[in-house]
């Protein structure tokens, strides 16, 4: 029973995600079902059809007290011409359906540019869910963000230019402390 099954899911050209099956857990079957469904190759976009001229922003959200800040940050990212879409990954399963519905609506109408903003409720509070493949991502570049830090759009555009020059590499910034020279 000490056998671990590891499935490797490619997350476009930017990262690799390990989906682990951990034995002897009471909800083992549920965890396997969730991981297998998102990691199944049939649920992943075709890498050849992913755009390279823009990026997708993923923002993890959990705290209902941060919803106003989250909406502001998502709207700000949507204003950038390099952003194709903004996906807010909501990782608080105990949030009421009414609150989720209001948040989804408010996000969908708050875009300041051409990028759509969508709410994606997550089945768990795991921060690792941001690294799972998503069929709703249509770009090769993905910017993973927190819900409490807004990155200056010039910094986002700079990081994207760096990625375009190195598309087979991970490009990142330490958003809580950085400067552009």
pLDDT, tens only, 80-139? 999 999 999 999 999 999 999 999 999 999 999 999 999 999 988 988 888 888 888 999
- Domains of the chain (ranges; CATH) run 5-43 (no CATH), 47-165 (3.90.550.10)
Return the C-alpha torsion angle 156, 157, 158, 159, nearest 10.
Answer: 50
Band the pLDDT of 7: cuts 50, 70, 90. very low
pLDDT at 5: 28
pLDDT at 1: 35
pLDDT at 44: 76
The half-sphere exposure of 130 on its side-chain side, counting CA atoms within 13 A, is 21
pTM listed for this prediction: 0.76
Band the pLDDT of 38: cuts 50, 70, 90. low
Q: What is the mean pLDDT of the chain?
A: 80
pLDDT at 11: 32
Average pLDDT estimate for 66-73: 96
Give, in order, the Cα–Cα distances in Å from 160 to each of 41, 56, 81, 113, 114.
Answer: 27, 11, 11, 17, 17
Average pLDDT estimate for 39-66: 88
pLDDT at 33 over 80: no
Strand partners, 151: none
Higher-confidence position of 180 and 85: 85
Higher-confidence position of 92 and 3: 92
């Amino acid at each position: 029973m000490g056998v671990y099954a590891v499935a490797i899911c490619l997350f476009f050209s930017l990262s690799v995600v390990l989906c682990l099956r951990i034995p002897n857990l009471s909800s083992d079957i549920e965890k396997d079902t969730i991981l297998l469904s998102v990691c199944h190759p049939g649920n992943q976009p075709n890498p050849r059809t992913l755009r390279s001229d823009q990026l997708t922003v993923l923002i993890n959200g959990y705290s209902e007290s941060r919803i106003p800040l989250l909406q502001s940050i998502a709207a700000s990212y949507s204003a950038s011409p390099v952003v194709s879409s903004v996906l807010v990954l909501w990782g608080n399963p105990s949030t009421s359906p009414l609150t989720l519905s209001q948040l989804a609506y408010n996000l969908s109408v708050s875009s300041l540019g051409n990028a759509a903003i969508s709410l994606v409720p997550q089945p768990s509070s795991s921060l690792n869910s941001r690294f799972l493949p998503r069929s709703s991502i249509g770009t090769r570049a993905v910017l993973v963000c927190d819900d409490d830090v807004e990155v200056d759009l010039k910094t986002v555009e700079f990081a994207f230019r760096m990625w375009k020059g190195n598309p087979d590499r991970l490009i990142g910034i330490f958003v809580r402390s950085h400067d552009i020279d």
